Chain A
């Protein structure tokens, strides 16, 4: 019978489950089917929009480049016109040469007259002779209202695309033109560097569909033409402000989706294309998302159906189980009545029958229970104690713990009140946990002054105390407030035991009862045992709270910084990391804690930069310290994220000062590096552009000074100008050197150098200045001097700068002493003067860029503040050190060291 019922119940539940689940699944699938087509359409149109934005960006950059070149040619036309109007035709060469120097993209420049013949022509590659000057330029020179005329793109022997453009020489436009030949190779960098999204690329075609620039310059060099593509033909024929869209198979055999824009200025087309597969991937992702969502919906629907069917059939199931258990002899079992329907009534009838049978059975068992009660009590106490111990250690939250202690005491001793007091440092007691009738008189947080009431006595005596009637206890201090509270609880007999840890009382556990009963020794001992356990657990809970607070504070500190911080253990596993660590390392999506540091760095960092950090970690973990205790630092390069992150690491130590791992801090320095690079590039560019014309000025002045026809006064002016030009060139040279040294682009040729000979040579060159100021010079060289390993030109600059300073900043008749000594594997070079000295506060800034000491600025205005900075850069690059000792007004001594060359020979000291 029973199995048959069970089977039917199972069938009912299954039917309910299927009904609910199918309804939910149909809803989920229906919703997704409505939503999916719209989402797929959004993906495709978003890709088209993105392509249009990208192609506009590339088009604008090319337009900017072409406009710039038009401006340059137009400006050259104005200069040529001025020259022609001035009548000095020879000056055309100056304009032409200057133009080609400035405009690196132009291959040629020239002037063509109204008959189409060259009046002037200059080329980077071709020799210009009469024959070549007769050739007509490859551009249709028909005036277009003063606008620049663009010719067709031609491909040279070396497969580079060139285009000829012409600007009218006069205004309004006449027949003469300035003609330039532009090498469009410059555009390759633009199309190859431009970022147009995943798998995308940009390219440029001329009027005939010939490729001018592409992501891969090799395609241009192959002289590919895309004229056969209907898309390209359509783009070149009509163009559109919103771009021309199309699909084709590109030269790599890839199905591509393209958007193109027409360049009206030159009639070219610029195209951005993406593999169709990229778009298809986005659609696939959407479909995958849909499928996952549907599967998740089905699973959730199934779970809900399962739960609901269970809930509906549960009363019947309980009734069935109740009958089964009652049949097995469980006479005290009752079926819970959850409904008021027929099933509920049936359950009630069943319970009534069970009660009557149970009462009869209970009477029979009463006698047996009495006999075993005493034994059970003892066993109960032991079990309760064990349970107390177990219960108390389950939770470390202080208030919950206190609550458990008092509730346990109440249950265990069958009294009406229990209070757990915590002892404050001033001796007063604070209520932590209250149960039973004690709640009528006490609240958590109530304070009992020191020595008051029976709890205060337990503290002062350090042992258990009790009374049959607290209101009749002699010599007991009870305040009026305390009395009122006790009366509210109804307690008369009270037992208090101290909570002690390591001999120190940390609180009191009290019991209260409304009768004037006596507490037995067993009860006192049992309560003391409970109190001892509570004391230990309470102490642990306090310590746990303290450690949690500290941990929380530490976490808040770590998360509040914008830097990344992570801790790795001795096995290079990450033990802790703040949120910014994942962000900086490009690993937001993966869990860092527990991961291997090498694997984490491998995500985005270049292998070389990651390996340097891992090497440092391994060395630090093996040696127990990093960088001789000062820590170490380096850079992590992440080319995909275009990010540079600076790391610093130190060892992490435990309380016993043992190395347990490493702490690594990460700081994003991408912007700083970019700015430094931009600064360096700018200085390098600017100084190079300055230096060439300055050399020309100086050269012409030198020639001018030698001319016999020039008057003496004019020569004097030229001398002054020559001196100024020389100083400017020196400044530019210093800036160039600084820029190269800072960027690491300085060409160096390290070799064994005779520093003594080099010093004597420099001082020989400076002899006129030394004699001019009537200085006395001595050179002292120790006998064990070796050759040094350095670049001789750079080393010469160091010696020259330091020696010039000593001469310049010493008053006439001063004394200058140069000394070279050996210091183990180093040679120490020093120069001492009797000059103006350097103020103390200036000394630590002395080797910084553009820094000049205050007293020097007042004395002499020519310096740039670069000389000593340059000295420092050079000396540090060759592995040495530079420093200075000085007292203001009493001269200065400058030192530098240089490493001895390998296998260096002792020098013959003269």
Chain B
């Protein structure tokens, strides 16, 4: 009897050993094959002046979609459209921050400044900011050192270049109307443009505005023939209502130099600068980085991936300007 028991015992031990080995192998395999982390829903707030800035939002949506963020699935987009710029922007920024989003996207210098004042903890990704350093939003392009990062449109430093191009397209212009908004970027841009104007012997006619009505009033006050061209000084206010400047330039048959090519399609003579949609998509990539856990201070400020030169030949024909071949050779877009 004893030896039979021993045989059975031996078999049992052998089977147990085999079973343990198999279980061990299975556990090891399962832990190796264990898959990716679950996706969570993120909340992205957008503070935008709306109007012409709508294309940046389109680019942002497309960019986020391309990176796998789908509205209604893993993305909640809270859009606060201020429809231009007014005194209530600060309150609107505070209301948006109160919704406790994962990240806030701001468009333009004024809106970024409003969001910065509203929070120092929630990450802010700005876009279409003319000169974030001189505007005092960040100390340097390399690092903000705070909760801000984003994409600069570089319109401040490019203001002189745009004036140079205007002079090349329309060599006869001398008196140039500048409608200057109240943003810091408008002041910076005008300063750069003024320096270039002095070098080229041009006269900049400055008119300060603080609202849409101001723009209408200042334009109405300028008699026909008082200026040879209009120069678009970048600011959130003027950019949002650029159609007023396009209308006046068409009416007076004078050149209008803008800084975004959508304005050229709408009737401006030329533009030199970034593209709304591309900027939106570029901003989406920064947002993705912030959402992946990188601190904004760790993400250097970017500039546009490409600068576009656009010329409207139909406008040129209508106002009697003959863009030289050199400009047409350089142009990225020609509207006819």
Contacts and interface: CB of A to CB of B under 8 A. Distances in A.
Interface stretch (A414-422, A506-514, A602-610): A602-610
Contact of A10 (B3, B154, B164, B332): B3
Interface in B284-332: 289, 294, 298-303, 306-307, 313, 317, 322-323, 325-332
Contacts of B331: 101, 692, 695
Contact of B14 (A3, A94, A306, A700): A306
B203 to A, nearest CB: 17
Contact of B164 (A128, A158, A603): A128
A127 B6 contact: no
Contact of B313 (A160, A303, A602, A699): A699
A7 B3 CA distance: 6
B161 A692 contact: no
Nearest to B334: A695
Contacts of B70: 608
Contacts of B221: none
Contacts of B18: 299
Given A6-B1, A703-B322, A159 B330 contact: no
B283 to A, nearest CB: 15
Interface stretch (A217-225, A532-540, A864-872, A899-907): A217-225
B141 A127 contact: no
A221 to B, nearest CB: 3
Interface string A133-168: 000000000000000000000000111100000000
A706 to B, nearest CB: 10
B39 interface: yes
Interface in A668-701: 691-693, 695-696, 698-700
B21 interface: yes
Of A94, A696, A747, most buried by chain B (CB within 10 Å of CB) is A696
Given A125-B157, A125-B158, A218-B300, A94 B307 contact: no
A608 B14 contact: no
B325 A696 contact: yes
A97 interface: yes
Main secondary structure of the interface of A (DSSP, over half): helix
Contacts of A747: 277
Contact of A124 (B68, B143, B307): B307
B95 interface: no
A127 B329 contact: no
B332 A692 contact: yes
Contacts of A10: 2-3, 6-7
A475 interface: no
A657 interface: no
A158 B302 CA distance: 7
A552 interface: no
Interface string B88-106: 0000000000000000000
B2 A160 contact: no
Nearest to B199: A129
B82 interface: no
Nearest to B24: A295
Interface residues on A, range: 35 or more
A870 B298 CA distance: 47
Contacts of A590: 33
Contacts of A6: 1-4
Interface in B154-210: 154, 157-158, 160-161, 163-164, 196, 199-200
A7 B306 CA distance: 91
B216 interface: no
Contact of B163 (A127, A157, A692): A127
Contact of B68 (A7, A218, A606): A606
A606 B66 CA distance: 12
Interface string A1-13: 0110011011000
Contacts of A317: 3
Interface string A686-726: 00000111011011101100000000000000000000000
Contact of A101 (B196, B303, B329): B329
Contacts of B143: 222
Given A127-B196, A691-B334, A159 B329 contact: no
Contacts of A222: 142-143, 300
A710 to B, nearest CB: 15
Given A158-B152, A608-B70, A699 B328 contact: yes
Interface in A431-485: none
A698 B336 CA distance: 10
Contacts of A2: 1
Given A3-B2, A101-B329, A129-B199, A223 B14 contact: no
A2 B327 CA distance: 113
Contacts of B160: 126-127
Interface residues of B, number: 58
Contacts of B142: 159, 221-223
A39 interface: no
Contacts of B299: 218
Contact of A692 (B17, B302, B306, B328): B328
Contacts of A729: 336
Given A101-B329, A603-B35, A302 B14 contact: yes
Contacts of B10: 306
A24 B142 CA distance: 66
Interface string A109-133: 0000000000000011111110100
A299 B299 CA distance: 56
B328 A125 contact: no
Contacts of B12: none
B141 A157 contact: yes
Nearest to B164: A127
A594 interface: no
Contacts of B14: 302-303, 306
A100 interface: yes
Interface in B1-45: 1-4, 6-7, 10, 14, 17-18, 21, 25, 33, 35, 39
Contact of B199 (A93, A127, A292, A306): A127
B217 interface: no
Contacts of B141: 157-159, 221
Contacts of A702: 317
A606 B329 CA distance: 44
Nearest to B168: A93
B83 interface: no
B300 A221 contact: yes
A845 interface: no
Given A10-B3, A695-B334, 9 more contacts: A2-B1, A6-B3, A97-B327, A127-B164, A127-B196, A299-B17, A692-B328, A699-B323, A700-B325
Interface of B: 1-4, 6-7, 10, 14, 17-18, 21, 25, 33, 35, 39, 68, 70, 73, 141-143, 152, 154, 157-158, 160-161, 163-164, 196, 199-200, 277, 289, 294, 298-303, 306-307, 313, 317, 322-323, 325-334, 336
Interface of A: 2-3, 6-7, 9-10, 93-94, 96-98, 100-101, 104, 123-129, 131, 157-160, 218, 221-223, 292, 295-296, 299, 302-303, 306, 317, 590, 602-603, 606-608, 691-693, 695-696, 698-700, 702-703, 729, 747
